[in-house]
Each structure stands twice: as structure tokens, then as C-alpha cells.
Structure 1
Amino acid sequence: MPTTPELDATATNRVAVLRHNLFVASETFIRAQAGALTRYAPFFVARRPLHHTPPGVEAYSSSDGASAVADLRYAITARSGNLERVLRDHGADVMHAHFGPDGLYASAAARRLALPLVVTLHGRDVTVRPSELLRSRKPVAIRYALERHKLGDRAARLICVSDEIRNAALRAGLPEDKLLTHYIGVDTVKYAVRPGEREPLIVHVARFVEKKGTTDLISAFSKISERHPHHRLALIGDGPLAPALRSQVRELGIESRVDFVGRIEPEEVRAMVGRAEVFVLPSVTASNGDREGLPIALIEAMSLGTTVLATRHSGIPEAIDSADVGTLVEEHDVPAIAAALDEMLSDPRATRELGLAGARRVRTHFDLATQTRLLEGIYDDVR
């Protein structure tokens, strides 16, 4: 069984992991990936102030000690003396930015300090239309809309979290020779299959935004809820669509069967998903073009042995590559989601076997320790 590695105490290589906002609940994969490094000692750098730093994590903010004027200058020009100072003072050998806009903003410091820059593209950074970015009127989004092509010149590697995102990056004009697919993976020790019987529970873990397809799941559950009176639907997360989703549940008359769990700690999410019968993520392409990369929550559910129902969307079929490891339906096909749920809930034994097959696939293709060793090879190559 794969084991979670520990950082080599003799490691002298330093990688700066950059994200404008760090340690947000929906992006635990960034810290998990850095925590699995063995030959590179990571430290995190945020642009925004750090309100909470997890225990044992080394993290800094380029806004510390910076005036409001300096921060605004950084937003407008993508130049930050404070960022350069943090990188220099803490001995970065490689910079790894998550999401395209963050990579673009990191690129000036990388160039001035002669540091190799690796950027992970997660999805919306190459799928949202530039016109939508401009319409946001946010300085970071506007700069990215106008200068996304510069990533191709400034980054040493552009990591794509799925083949589908690599194809989207190619369509966006980024250079093929710098693009590579690399799956982040999950900790298959921490997310081990839970023994024992499953609860009559359907879970959905997501930020409540259009691309997660939560409204389709609620509609589908309402169609089969009377046939499965003992099953509940748990919606874990929060987001701008939460009020509309609550209204939808009320209008469908299924309030007594749907739990809005809200944001909970990762350990609580893992426990709830691990005891559920089915995990559903019916992702869709949002009206602004926003698409998933390869949702880590889905890979985590598979690793826990929870049977997964999802859509043929972006990189998801790269994880659920056959009907032997999970079930896929077309985007927005509410009747198909309902029919698949009905079938799964009606045959718990077959559903359990499907979940166990999914867990085996994750251990073979998406183990975090294995994937992070490959990532360290990418760091080696760019130095």
C-alpha cells in the first residue's frame, strides 16, 4: 500500500508555492501537494494577508509591511518588491504558482531573480473567455485577459491538471512545448477505503457555483426521493448560489431530505464521504466558459471507495475511464442522473463493488506520493 512520504531532513532545495489567497477551504489540494514533497522544502507565499496559517506550515504574505499604495501598484503593474524580498530572503530555488493569473503576477519576480517558474493550470484559467474576464473589472482578471499569452514566454513549464485542460490551453494559444499533463493525486493512505456498511447517504462536495451542477443534482434527487425514502442528500460547501439552491429545495418540497451542511473541516468531509453510499458531482460548463480541471473532491471520494456518479465533463473521464469504476452521464441530463442514482440505490451490493473498483484505480493512477515524485522531477528539469 502506498505510504505518505516525509520531507527528507537533508533536503536543501526550496520551492516557493504561490497563490494570491492561501489556505482557502476549496483549495486544500495545494497544501496537500506541497506537503507530499520529499526532496524540496516548500514555503508558501500569498499576495493577500494571511488570516489563518495551518500548524507546521511555513507561509508569508507579500502584503506584510506593504502600504495600500504598494499593493495597488502590484495589482496594476504585477511588480512587487516585497514579493522579491520574500523569495530572496527565504532562499527559493523554484517558484510554483497555482492558477494562471497567479503565475502571471509571479513572473516579473521570477525574471528579476532568475528563478524558474512552474505554473499549474487548473481549469478556469484557460476556459473562461477573455471577454468575461474583462467584464469583471477586476485588475487581476483584466491583466490576465490581456496578457495570458505572456505565460508562454515567462514560465518554464505549464502544468495542466488533465489532458482536457492541456487541450484548452493549446486552444488559448499557450505553447505546446511547455505544456504537460500532471495529475495532482490524493493521499491514498489518509483517504483509505472505509470498512463496514455504508449509510443511506448521497453526498455532494463543492463550492456552490454554476459549473458544479448542484441544481441538476437537486432536481434529480427530487425525482427519485419517494422511491428511496430512507436516503438523504448532503450538500457540503457554500458559495454564491447557496440562497438559490435553498429556494429550489423548498420549491421541490424536499427540505426534510436535503441537508445543507455548509463548510466543514477536511477531516469531517472525509468522514462523511467515507460513510456515504454515493458521491455525485454533475459538473457542467458555466455560461462564462468556466470548466473543471479534474476535481480533487471526486478523486478523494473514489479513493475512499465511495461510488461516484459524475458527468462527461472536462478531465473527469480521465479518472472515470470506464463503467467499471464509476458512472458518467451527459451534462445537464437530469433524467439520466436520476436513473443512475435510482439504479445505484436499488442495488447496494453492486454499488459497493463499483466503489471498490474506483478506489483501486486511484491507487494505481492518482496516488499523491507517486505523483509528487513526478512533480519533483519537473522541478529538477527546469533548474
Structure 2
Amino acid sequence: MPSRRKIVVVLKGYPRLSETFIAQELLGLERAGIELVIVALRRPTDGKRHPVHDEIRASVHYLPEYLHEEPLRVFRSLLAGLPRKGFPRAFGAFLADLRRDPTRNRIRRFGQALVLAAEWPAGASWLHAHFAHTPASVTRYTSLLRDLPWTCSAHAKDIWTSADWDLADKLSSARWTVTCTRTGFQHLKSLANGSSRVHLSYHGLDLTRFADFAGTRPPRDGLSPDDPVTILSVGRAVEKKGFDTLLQALALLPPELAWRLEHVGGGGHLDRLKALAEKLGIAPRVSWRGALAQEEVLRLYRQADIFTLACRIASDGDRDGLPNVLVEAASQRLPCVSTNVSGIPELLTNGETGLLVPPDDPKALAFALERAIRDPALRVRLGDAAERRVRDHFDHRSSIGQLKGLFEQEWQTAT
């Protein structure tokens, strides 16, 4: 017997170290009494897991990442799908999309939807996609194949690198869509012609995992070579994170100023960034720690003096929404220096809860970093204010309650 409370959640990959906000949400929904089944388009590539992944009870199923790798599975799913009443509608939607996006990726998404529809988890009667690009495409086609409702959580890259026509089609098809920054919300709202089915929902933070930091940080001021100010930055080495701008800014700091940078994260640009640090003459001051689990990152937040993230809009339009690492750092009274991109000003107000500069401006970033390095009292004031903002406005229980309410409203309407 299908259960309205059993939801199939479609993700691009699972588990992923860079998507703790999704894992946190899944766990929160489970604790709120909603049964989940996780379906991923890709298998994990990270060598580590966060503790939250081990607490999630949902079973995990993987679709064929590439159709040619499992041709019999795809063919059996096609044969199973052809007699379905929803097949003509789903195939028609796919063909319309393919005409506007004639790519292998588009074909792969329909093939993955056929597999999901054929291997449908027993008792499930709802679909929810995390990310409005490829996971939402698979989810939308599956909803048409099985004549089931679907909803969506949109985030950042998926909003800003997707074609407007694609987003508009999905917004009109989904029962509702939530997104995590006001800039993303306003963009989606405009594409949905002001529809009330688009909602703003900040991810928030599980403050039981990021409890109050009771320690004190030494009043380092960058004047002692034996006791440098520690600057921490956490994020994948990709274009939108702006790590090249950060390295250039650090190279502009007065040579007598004592500092060191610790970077946490993997990513395809790491070798390029290491080479840039060598070229700029700052390599001895930079530690590249690679990807770390959440509890290790928390320890670094508490040991650091400053957190920085030089976010930018990438050349393909990709950008962060509100990076979860900024919320995490702020929860530990760690003063943050960042850029005024996307949703970051929704957390940090320049001079009040952090320091903000324009993106792609090494000089402005260097000035802000030097100011924070030299002034430990400023760091304390900014860190205290940022922590208050996080604990007052970014508790994940609010977002979980909002999502549960949206699901409950749909289920009550259906009865």
C-alpha cells in the first residue's frame, strides 16, 4: 500500500562531503517522521563520510551513471515503461526538451528516469529532487511516467547555469520549489510568473553539531613571526570559490605581517593553486589539507583566527548561494571575510557581522584581511555578532519545519 509519507529523494551523488546541508536536511526529515528512499545519479567519489551520513536510515539506490555501462538494465526498463499510461506524456516532454537541448546528457536523464520508474521503491508515492538541473530532469520525467507528484529544492549552480526555459518548465510542473537564498528565490519567482509555489527556505545549521564555542582565541595581531594569525578557508578548488583571488590578496599583505593560511577541500584546481602560491612566493605559509570530515573541520574552525572565502560568479554563470561553511564558521564565533556575492550578504553585514568586499578584487580583500589580522578586538566583535545571527536566524529546525509543513499541506489536500 503506497504511503504518502514515503518520499523518493533524487540526488546527483550521494554521499558527498561538500553537501552536508543536504544530508542534514534528510536526517531532519526522517526525525520529523517522514520515510525516505535516496536515489543517486552517481556513486560516491569522496574517500570520507560525515557522521551525519551514518545516522540517515534511508536505503540508497544508484541509477546507471552512463546508460552504455548497463544496457540491459536500461532496455528492460524501457520495455517496462512502454505500456505505462504516462509514457506518451513523459516521452513527449523529453522530445521537446531534446529539441532545445540536443545533448547526450538529456538522453541519459530520460534513460535514468526509465530505470527509476521501472525499479520504483515499494510503497513510495512522492518524488523530491535536490538541485533543479539534472536531478530535477530525472525526477520530472519519472513523475510523468508514474503519474506521481514531485517537488524540488533548488540551490545555486543549478539555478544560475540552467536555461530559463528549462527552469520555467520544471517550476510549472513541480508542486512547489524551495530555494535557499533571496537572490535565487527572486530569480525563480520571476521565471514562475510570481507563482506562490516558490518558497525561500534557508538551510540553517544543526546547532547540536556546532555547539557554542566556549574557548577564547589569543589576541594575535600579526606582529609575532612565532605566533602568526591563522586564516582558514574551506571549499572545493573550483572557479567560483575564488581561491586564486585569495592567494593574490595574501601576496599583497605587508611582508612583515605574520599569517598562515589553511585550506580544506579537494577539487580539480588544487595543483594550479599550489603552483600559483609558489609563483607568488607565499607557498611556505599555505597548508593544503585536502578534504576532511565535519568533526575535523569543526576543530579547525575553533583553532583559527579568521575565516575567509573569496566567492565569485564563474565564467559559466555558476556561483554559490549561501556557502554552508560561512554559517558553520560564524557559529563558532570565527570572524568571516568574504565577498558580496549571491546570498552571502543575507548572513554577513559589512562591519557588523563580518567584512565584505567585491568579488575578484585582490586589493580590497587584502585590505580587509589586513584589517582583521591587525585588530583582534574587531575579530571578537564581528565573531560574536555573527554567532548571534546564526543562532537567531539559521537554526536548521526552522527549515525542516517549513519543509515538513509544505509536504503535509500537499498530503492533506490529496485526502
TM-score (norm. length: structure 1): 0.85
Moved more, 320-329 or 249-258: 320-329
Letter in 2 for 1:23: P
Within 5 Å, give how 1:1-383 maps onto structure 2.
13-37=5-29, 38-49=32-43, 54-57=53-56, 58-63=58-63, 68-69=70-71, 70-71=73-74, 75=108, 77-78=110-111, 80-89=113-122, 91-101=123-133, 102-128=135-161, 130=163, 147-170=166-189, 173-177=191-195, 178-198=197-217, 200-224=229-253, 226-229=255-258, 231-321=259-349, 323-383=351-411
User: What is the Cα deviation at residue 43 of structure 1?
Assistant: 2.8
Q: Deviations over 1:1-58 (max 9, x none)?
A: xxxxxxxxxx982232210211112112111111122131333111234678843432
CA distance in 2 between counterparts of 1:187 and 1:50 reads: 23
For 1:226, what is the secondary structure of its paired residue?
coil
Range moving further from structure 2, 50-59 or 40-49: 50-59
Q: Distance in 1 between matches of 2:410 and 2:253?
A: 52
- Cα displacement string for residues 239-266 of structure 1 (whole angstroms, at most 9, x for unaligned residues): 1211111111001111110011111111
**Counterpart Cα distance in 2 of 1:263 and 1:287:** 25
**Secondary structure in 1 matching 2:168:** helix
**Bigger mean CA offset, 278-287 vs 198-207:** 198-207
Give the conservation status (yes or no) of the 8 Å contact 1:129–1:289.
no
In 1, the alpha carbon distance for the partners of 2:352 and 2:327 equals 15
2:180/2:321 contact within 8 Å kept: yes
Does the CA contact (< 8 Å) of 2:154 and 2:178 recur in 1? yes
* Distance in 1 separating the partners of 2:45 and 2:252: 43
Runs (5+) with no aligned partner, structure 2: 79-106, 219-228
Q: d(CA) in 2 for partners of 1:51 and 1:201? A: 30
For the residues of structure 2 that align with 1:357 and 1:116, how far apart are their CA atoms? Answer: 42
Read off the aligned partner of 2:184 and give its amino acid letter: I
Where 1:197 maps in the other structure, the secondary structure is: coil
How far 1:283 sits from its partner (Å)?
0.6
CA distance in 2, matches of 1:274, 1:176: 43
The separation in 1 between residues aligned to 2:312 and 2:154, in whole angstroms, is 18
Hey, what's the Cα distance between the residues in 2 that align with 1:338 and 1:23?
A: 36
User: Deviations 1:141-188 (Å, cap 9, x if unpaired)?
Assistant: xxxx874432023211111111101223345x3443122111111111
Q: Any gaps of 5 or more consecutive residues in structure 1? A: 1-10, 131-144
Aligned-pair identity (%): 27
C-alpha RMSD of matched pairs (Å): 2.6
Secondary structure at the counterpart of residue 166 of structure 1? helix
- Per-residue displacement from partner, 1:202-260 (whole Å, max 9, x unpaired)? 1111111111111111111122263432x210111121211111111001111110011
In structure 2, the CA distance between the partners of 1:116 and 1:274, relative to structure 1 (3 Å rule), is farther
Give 3-state SS (helix, strand or coil) of 1:60's partner: strand
CA contact (8 A) 2:246 2:365 kept: yes
- The DSSP-based 3-state class of the residue aligned with 1:380 is helix
Deviation at 1:63, TM superposition (A): 2.7
Most deviating of 107-116 and 235-244: 107-116
Q: Secondary structure at the match of 2:359?
A: coil
For residues 288-316 of structure 1, the C-alpha deviation after alignment (integer angstroms, 9 at most, x for no partner) is: 11111111111111112111111110111
- Cα distance change, pair 275–116 in 1 and its aligned pair in 2 (3 A): farther
Q: Would you say the 8 A contact 2:64–2:112 is kept in 1?
A: no
Aligned to 1:249, the other structure's residue is in SS state helix
Q: Which has the larger radius of gyration?
A: 2
CA–CA separation in structure 2 for the residues paired with 1:277 and 1:51: 31
**Of 62-71 and 75-84, the range deviating more from structure 2:** 62-71
Whole-angstrom distance in 1 between the partners of 2:277 and 2:375: 26
Contact 1:62 / 1:82 at 8 angstroms: preserved in 2?
no
Distance 2:43 2:273 in 1: 31
Counterparts of 1:104 and 1:174, CA distance in 2: 17
| Per-residue Cα deviation, 1:341-362 (whole angstroms, up to 9, x for no partner) | 1111111122022111101101
